[in-house]
Amino acid sequence: MKKAVAIPLALALALTLFACGKAPAPTTATQATTAAASTVLPAIEAIEESAAATQVADATGTAEESASVAGSTTQIATTQPGAPFALNSSDIAQVLALYQAIARQNPNLRTQDSASLNGVIKGENGQEGTFAKIARPIFASAIEKSGTTENTFPGAPAQLTVGDVTSAEAKTANGKTTLTLHIKEQNAKKDTPKFEGSVGRGFGLLAGDALLGNLGGGGVSVDESKATVDLAYKNPVILLTADSATGKVITAQWTNQVTITAKNLNVKILVFPAKEFPRMELTIDYSAKTI
C-alpha cells in the first residue's frame, strides 16, 4: 500500500486547520496453520503439475487432474480437461491454494493503486469542526492524487495461511475462474512490517516510516517522536478472475478500508509555535486494480 505522499499531506492539512480553530496480535505458527499447510501445499503442487501437463499435451488428449485435500474426500484442482485452474468450491484451503498458484503464474502483475477519503475528519471529540469541513475537499483531492502503479503481485500471497481467510469461493464458467477471498481484519502500528499479519500478507500495509513523513515543504513540519499512530484495516476483500486454462489474470481487485488515528502529534506551522494535537482520525477507502 503506497500512500507515502497522500497520507502525510492529508494529515498536515487537517492539523493545520485544527490549529486555526486493538493492539495487533503477532502472527505465529499455530496448529491451524500447520494443518492448513498440509492441505494447501499438495493442492498447489497438483495445480502446477496440471498446468505444466496442459502446456505439453495435445489439446484433445489432456487428462483430468485432481488432488485430494488431506483429511477430506473433497477433490481439489480441476475435473475439466485442459483447465488446470478451474475450481468450484467454497473450501478455504482449496481456494487459497488456487489463488497462490495463480499468483505464481503472474509475478509481474501490473496494478494501479487508488484511494479516497471516506466520511469526515474527526477531532478529539469525535466530531468534524467547521474548519475541517472546509478542508475536506482539499483532503480528498490530495488523497486521490496519490495513486501509484506497481509491477508485482500485491501482498505476499505465498505467505497467506488458511487462518488469514475468513471465507472464500471459487467459480468456473465459460473458461474463466473467479475467486473471492475475504481476509481477516487487522490492527497495526505505523512501524508494523509491510507484510505482517493477514492484511499485510494479502495486500501489504501502509509504509510506516512514510505515514506522516517529513513534511518540511509548505511551512509545515510534524514531530512524531512522542506520537502514536494506529491503523485499523476493515473489510479486506480480494476478487480475482483468471483464465481457467492458463492461470493468466484477466482482472483483479484488492479493496479495504483503513482508519488512521494519530495521537499526540507535535505540529509546527509557519512561524507559529509548535502545538500538540491530542487526536485526529480519518478513514481512507483503498483499492488496487489490474490495468
Tell me the C-alpha distance between 164 and 238, whole Å: 12
Task: Give the type of residue at 289.
Answer: K
Q: Which residue ranges make up each domain of the chain?
A: 30-113+153-276
Beta bridge partners of 163: none
Provide the grid cell at 227. 506520537
Residue 150: what pLDDT?
Answer: 93
Residue 220: what pLDDT?
Answer: 56
Residue 85: what pLDDT?
Answer: 97
Stretches in the chain below the pLDDT threshold 70: 1-79, 129-136, 138-139, 142, 207-222, 267-270, 272
Cα first-last separation, the chain: 16
Q: Are 69 and 93 in contact (CB under 8 A)?
A: yes
Q: Collect all residues with Cβ–Cβ distance below 8 Å to 238 and sequence separation of at least 6.
A: 99, 179, 180, 181, 183, 202, 252, 253, 254
Residue 82: what pLDDT?
Answer: 84
Question: Phi/psi at 119 (nearest 5 deg)?
Answer: 80, -150
Residue 206: what pLDDT?
Answer: 81
Tell me the C-alpha distance between 181 and 97, whole Å: 12
Residue 65: what pLDDT?
Answer: 35
Give the helix/strand (H/E) hosting 232: strand 228-243
Average per-residue pLDDT in the chain? 74
The distance from CA 121 to its chain's CA centroid, rounded to whole angstroms, is: 23
Q: Are 50 and 67 in contact (CB under 8 A)?
A: no
Q: Checking DSSP bridges between strand 228-243 and strand 220-223, what pairing results, if any?
A: unpaired
Grid cell 480475482 in the structure block, residue: 240
Query: pTM of the prediction?
Result: 0.72
